Amino acid sequence: MKYSAPRGTQDILPADSAAWQALEAASRAVFERYGYREIRTPIFEQKELFLRSVGEQTDIVQKEMYTFTDRKAREFALRPEGTASVIRAYIENRLWTERPLQKLYYLGPMFRYDRPQKGRYRQFHQIGCEAVGSLNPLVDAEVIALMGDILRAAGVSRLSLHLNSLGDAETRAAYGEVLRGYFGARREELCSDCQARLELNPLRVLDCKVESCQKLSAGIPPIEDSLSPDSRAHYEAVQRWLTVLGVDFVKDPRLVRGLDYYTRTAFEYHHGELGSSVALGGGGRYDRLIAECGGPDTPSIGFSLGEERVLLAAAQDSQLAAQAAAEARTPGFYLVYLGDTLLEPAVRLARQLRNSVRVELDPEPRSLKAQMRQADNLKLSHALILGESEQAAGRIVVKDLAGGTQVTLEQSALTADPLGALAGPGRDG
Ligand code: HAM
């Protein structure tokens, strides 16, 4: 029997994990500079939580959740996203009593039964944050700027930020009427899903991927025209603050997002490599969600980005890949010895060095080339090269495998300070 990873999942092998670690470390550093602290929640929750928060009419809830029943017939779902869990934890642990504005970040696997393709998986990984407890538009702009900072720190350079406002309940009701009026007699031409959406959740029609629906909806008046005065003022203030923060954006009146909890600000970062229907990440405000889930009335905003997608984009923009390749070498020596007779002194030297650093050596004497290849395969930072003449003089060559430079050291100097030899080019002795 042959086993394989479930469709839509992937192994992150050691050769790739350095890039993942670099992305996660860069994200944590940016979050911490903005005063966010990490929160970790379970990867499964009561199914009902997602129905309530993400929305019963969304594709995520209708088609994409991994649900299961436990031994006591309770219904759970693997989390399809992080916001619902963070909000559940916020309410359950009464986090508002600790501080009025909670700035929380998280990272980890999420699960959606999606159709696997480039940048779309069934287990994927998000890095996200939630600023819980403020309606101030400056918070929106800072969250958006923070997300851009992470993407740039990850090495993604060709970014475009799409911005929209979905307004409040008043706006939604008014815009629903606009949409129903717009489709009027032509509603029969919409796909059957959209005909139902038009009644239950008209904004979703804008998000439909069916070509005939997209064509029909091309001339829809923008939601901005239906914004309530409060929502309009908020949207304008977010744009002003983004300008103050030096964040470029394009207004995108068709941006509605795939989850139902959004109010007012909605945004996505896009990258040319992934195409326009696949965002690197996105987010928005959800001012009603906490109250709807049984907590106090608490306006909030957040975003998540997809790690797989960011790594694809960064590889394309190549900086992260190059950086990770350099960082992927682990500090340590591959001890190359040239000929049988040097095995014994090499073993003695390795034993001394291993008191403080990693040393690898091949018990079978092989050619210089074969040993150097092995050093490279093991991704060690340095090689030590011991030939007859070095051994006779009590010396050894230290080669920096990332930079390519080399120095010759006294063996006694190397054993006295092996970490020094790993840290720098050293003195030529
Ligand atoms: P979302 O737009 O559903 O938002 O997902 C955010 C990001 O997760 C996407 O832009 C994408 O990069 C990644 N993603 C989603 N599905 C997949 C998939 N099947 N394969 C690979 N990557 C995927 C949310 O999840 C919201 N919780 C964001 C948020 C936080 N809003 C407010 N706070």
Q: Whose CA is nearest to atom 31 of ligand 1?
A: 283
The pLDDT of residue 428: 42
**Top mutation candidate among 53, 83, 121, 126 for ligand 1, by most atoms within 8 Å of CB:** 126
Q: Whose CA is nearest to atom 20 of ligand 1?
A: 120
Q: Whose CA is nearest to atom 23 of ligand 1?
A: 306
The pLDDT of residue 422: 87
Q: Phi/psi at 395 (nearest 5 deg)? A: -120, 180
Per-residue pLDDT for 270 more than 70? Answer: yes
The pLDDT of residue 327: 66
Q: Which residue has the higher pLDDT, 329 or 323?
A: 329
Q: Whose CA is nearest to atom 13 of ligand 1?
A: 306
**Top mutation candidate among 61, 62, 124, 271 for ligand 1, by most atoms within 8 Å of CB:** 124
The pLDDT of residue 39: 98
What average pLDDT does the segment 328-348 reach? 94
Per-residue pLDDT for 326 more than 80? Answer: no
The pLDDT of residue 127: 98
The pLDDT of residue 426: 44
- Mean pLDDT check: name the lowest of 40-49, 271-280, 327-336, 419-428: 419-428
The pLDDT of residue 204: 84
Tens digit of each residue's pLDDT (9 = 90 or more) over 26-57? 999 999 999 999 999 999 999 999 999 999 88
CA of 82 to the centre of ligand 1 (A): 9
Instruction: Quote the pTM value.
Output: 0.80
Per-residue pLDDT for 273 more than 90? Answer: no
Count Cβ neighbours within 10 Å for each residue of 357-391 and write b for 16 or more, e otherwise: ebbbbbeeeeeeeebbebbeeebbbbbbbbbeebb
The pLDDT of residue 319: 60
The pLDDT of residue 357: 94
Per-residue pLDDT for 392 more than 90? Answer: yes
CA of 309 to the centre of ligand 1 (A): 10
With cut-offs at 50, 70 and 90, classify the pLDDT of residue 321: low
The rounded mean pLDDT for the chain is 93
Per-residue pLDDT for 390 more than 60? Answer: yes
CA of 143 to the centre of ligand 1 (A): 16
Please give all residues whose beta carbon lies within 6 A of any atom in ligand 1, as ranges: 81-83, 112, 114, 119-121, 124, 126, 128, 130, 258-259, 279-284, 302-306, 308-309
Say which residues have a Cβ less than 8 Å from residue 318's Cβ, sequence separation at least 6: 155
Tens digit of each residue's pLDDT (9 = 90 or more) over 275-294? 777 899 999 999 999 999 99
The pLDDT of residue 427: 39
